[in-house]
Structure 1
Amino acid sequence: MGLREQIDIEKLPSHVAVIMDGNGRWAKEKGKLRVFGHHNGVKSVRETVEAAAELGIQYLTLYAFSTENWNRPKLEVMALMELLVHTINNETKTLLENGIRLNAIGNLKALPDKCYKELQQAITQTAGNTRTTLTLALSYSSRWEITEAVKRIAQEVKAGSLQPEDITEQLFSNHLSTAGMPDPELMIRTSGEFRISNYLLWQLAYAELYFTPKLWPDFRKDDFYEAIIDYQKRERRFGLTSEQVN
């Protein structure tokens, strides 16, 4: 029996978040520049998106570029931005054919104009798709996102349209960039690192965390299936006892 056949379709997470880590190390192991790893990571993105859509997972969010990544060498950042535009142009047709809606979160205005325009165009073109929502976290960090949400809430309180006692967890969630999406039930990180790196800190409060030593360019459908199988073996209690859950 293959890995996909071991998955219980009735117990899928509705939202999977992924930290795609290890492109640079993968390239270094092969004596190549870091950009070589980023280029080869595109195939892993394609396989992961396909696997999620084929299983019927509604939301897939990929950590593509953090606010901290702007501090990387300028040539690497420029290459990443060019790769982003190239990939979006190449993959939009496939997204449309497979009913996948493209979305993006983060400080998108910080992206180069060409990247921002191409991204927005692809988002508009795929807006009517309903099979799976693919969200790219670009120029994103969770602390940035939370700070921006607090600013917007403070402005509403200052304007008198919101009272402090009306602030709830749900209201706060509605001011995040993931508003309207369920919180991830599963977070996958590649490359053997055991941290979440300023990624969806609020949203991952009750997510199952899955870490694999695979470097991102080596991550394939079967690796995604293994993460889903591992998730399905876990008991999600949300503060209750095992007896209460069962």
Structure 2
Amino acid sequence: MGLYDTYLSIRHRFHDGDPPEHVAIVITERDLLVDGAFDTLSEALGWAMEYGAERVTVSVSVLDESVVPTLTRELRRLDAPAPFVVRGPDDAEESEAGAADTAADVPVRITVGLGGKAEFAAAVREIAGDVDDGTLDPASIDADDVADRLVFPEEPDLVIKTGAERLSDFAIWQSVYAELYFTDVNWRDFRKRDYLRAVIDFQDRQRRFGR
């Protein structure tokens, strides 16, 4: 570790602010086509756990849906530091070593081509079906009814997007109160120091949760 990396690590360790417990990383299919991209992802998951995260959500945005099966297959082979699940648009689920029947207690969740708009629309369709069959009163519908029908309902504390200042249709509902961190560093060049910068930036902020 270089001097600058050591400085960042010390600054994080002695910072008064709490690190994010749930970190979301938004990357694209093109990011994963670069040599070493999956190794970078494995390392990034390790950095997140090392610096205080208890849960990590990775969103892979996809423009060409034909690449989803290939990306999903490769991601399920990921050398991750903790049990993980991978889900795509077909809502398929896999966990490392069959760790859990659901994703509720799995610390790392990865979505491939599962856009926030599509996820929200699916939740609305499910609510409409429950209203139609009489199991849900329209007047009683609240935010929890929507959240309960999302693939990964937990809200991230920090969302990191590399390479561009846009979310790529990531977790529209869940990220409404998240702190957003954009870096112009492309995924192929993303290093521990870049992750630490994001964490320290989060610790420097005063969260308002929409207030």
Q: Normalising to structure 2: TM-score of the pair?
A: 0.83
Q: 2:57 and 2:204 mapped to 1: Cα distance?
A: 22
* 1:237 match: 208
Q: Distance in 1 between matches of 2:58 and 2:160?
A: 10
Aligned to 2:57: 61
Residue 185 of structure 1 is matched in structure 2 by: 157
Deviations 1:78-122 (A, max 9, x none): xx744542453352xxx4xx4x1212344135xxxxxx6xx62x3
Cα pair distance change 1:216/1:90, threshold 3 Å? closer
User: Shift in Å at residue 125 of structure 1?
Assistant: 2.1
Which secondary structure state, in structure 2, belongs to the residue aligned with residue 89 of structure 1?
coil
Tell me what 1:217 maps to.
188
Q: CA deviation at 1:152?
A: 0.5
Q: Which runs of 4+ in 1 moved over 6 A?
A: 128-132
TM alignment of 1:10-159, pairs within 5 A: 11-21=18-28, 23=30, 35=33, 37=34, 39-66=35-62, 68-70=63-65, 77=67, 81-82=69-70, 84-89=72-77, 91=79, 95=80, 98=81, 100-108=82-90, 120=94, 122-123=95-96, 125-127=98-100, 133-159=107-133
User: Counterpart of 1:17 in structure 2: which amino acid?
Assistant: A
Are 1:4 and 2:15 matched, yes or no? no
Greater C-alpha Rg: 1
Task: Work out the CA distance in 2 between the residues paired with 1:171 and 1:194.
Answer: 31
SS at structure 1 position matched to 2:113 = strand
Classify 1:130/1:171 alpha carbon distance in 2 versus 1 (closer, same or farther; 3 Å): closer
| Aligned position for 1:200 | 171
Give the conservation status (yes or no) of the 8 Å contact 2:28–2:61. Answer: no
- Contact 2:86–2:111 (Cα < 8 Å) also in 1: yes
CA deviation map 1:23-46 (0-9, x unaligned): 46xxxxxxxxx93x1x32112101
- Equivalent pairs, count: 203
Deviation at 1:62, TM superposition (A): 1.1
Asked whether the equivalents of residues 104 and 137 of structure 1 are also in contact (C-alpha less than 8 Å), the reply is: yes
The question of whether the paired residues in 2 share the 8 Å contact of 1:103 and 1:123 is answered with yes
What is the alpha-carbon distance in structure 2 between the residues aligned to residue 106 and residue 54 of structure 1?
27
Q: Report which of the two has the higher share of helix.
A: 1
- Report the identity percentage: 27
CA distance in 2, matches of 1:108, 1:9: 43
- Give the RMSD, CA atoms, in angstroms: 2.8
Per-residue deviation, 1:137? 1.1
- Give yes or no for contact 2:76–2:96 (8 Å, CA) kept in 1: no
Q: Distance in 2 between matches of 1:139 and 1:215?
A: 19
Q: CA deviation at 1:150?
A: 0.4
TM-score, scaled relative to structure 1: 0.72
Whole-Å separation in 1 of the counterparts to 2:176 and 2:104? 26
